[in-house]
Amino acid sequence: MNIQSTDRTIGRTNTISIFTKVNAAIPSGGMYKIILPSSIKPILPVNCFSSYGFTMINNGAPSCSYDSSTNSINTNNFIFAGSGDALIGVTIKNSPDTTPANFFFQTFDSAGNMIGNSSKGYFLTATPLQLAVSANKTNSQVDSTFKITVNCTLAVELTSSNLIRVTFPQASYNTASIACSSGTTIACNSTIDQTSGILTVTLRPPCTQCKPGTNFLFAIDGLTNPSFINSDT
């Protein structure tokens, strides 16, 4: 099993070519099924292409349909005469994050009886986008409080259940009075890695549903600069 992609970036349209080893014939009226992971949807209407190894019934063009109840793509007019390598292509929308997405594959006869079932799934992992951000720090003097303001433009949608994570370089930070805001105060929390001294501040997006292209400001206040100078601070 192998999947080749044109673009694995999260949330983007991706044309995938699926190479499968088929060990038993798919007769006329049978079906090849691609079971998509829940995080991935096909671009509708579904269009199958690159049907290497398959034979089209009545010399027709490759035809597929989408079953929303099982989130699967089904061939309509394909047969596979023997065994060997098969190739089919479809266009999907990638996962909205980098969680590995697991595809499964099945074949059926004309009565709907299963002929073959992939013994394991095939994982397709989307790649993250670069965030368009700029940051401004109010004070860089040692042992003094500072506020950092971040201007962020989203490339993918964020909802109120998502998180924004800001990582500060290794140092000894005083986080007792840390506060986050975006027009109004928003909840946030902070953790310091006891081994590395790296500070991580986590907050929710300042909107319920932030669409791609949304620009917003958020600020982290109440931090204290380290009592020494290094190249990171």
Indicate if the alpha-carbon torsion angle 13, 17, 21, 23 is positive or negative. positive
- To 10 degrees, the CA torsion angle through 10, 11, 12, 15? 80
Looking at the fold, whether 17 and 115 belong to one and the same domain comes out as yes
Instruction: Tell me whether residue 233 is in a domain.
Output: no
pTM more than 0.95: no
User: Which of 124, 146, 181 delimits the end of a domain?
Assistant: 124
Looking at the fold, whether 11 and 85 belong to one and the same domain comes out as yes
The pLDDT of residue 213 is 87
The pLDDT of residue 92 is 95
Would you say 53 and 88 are in contact if contact means Cβ atoms under 8 Å apart? no
Q: HSE-up of 16 (CA within 13 Å, CB side)?
A: 30
Q: How many domains does the chain have?
A: 2
d(CA 115, CA 95): 29
The pLDDT of residue 98 is 92
Looking at the fold, whether 61 and 139 belong to one and the same domain comes out as no
Domain of 32, in residue numbers: 2-124
The pLDDT of residue 80 is 93
pLDDT along the chain (233 residues), means of 10: 90 93 93 94 92 87 93 94 91 92 94 92 88 84 83 86 86 78 89 85 87 89 74 50
Would you say 149 and 69 are in contact if contact means Cβ atoms under 8 Å apart? no
User: Which of 71, 89, 124 delimits the end of a domain?
Assistant: 124
Peptide bond into 128 cis (omega under 30): no
Task: Read off the tokens for 99.
Answer: 């969680």
The pLDDT of residue 233 is 44
Instruction: Tell me whether residue 231 is in a domain.
Output: no
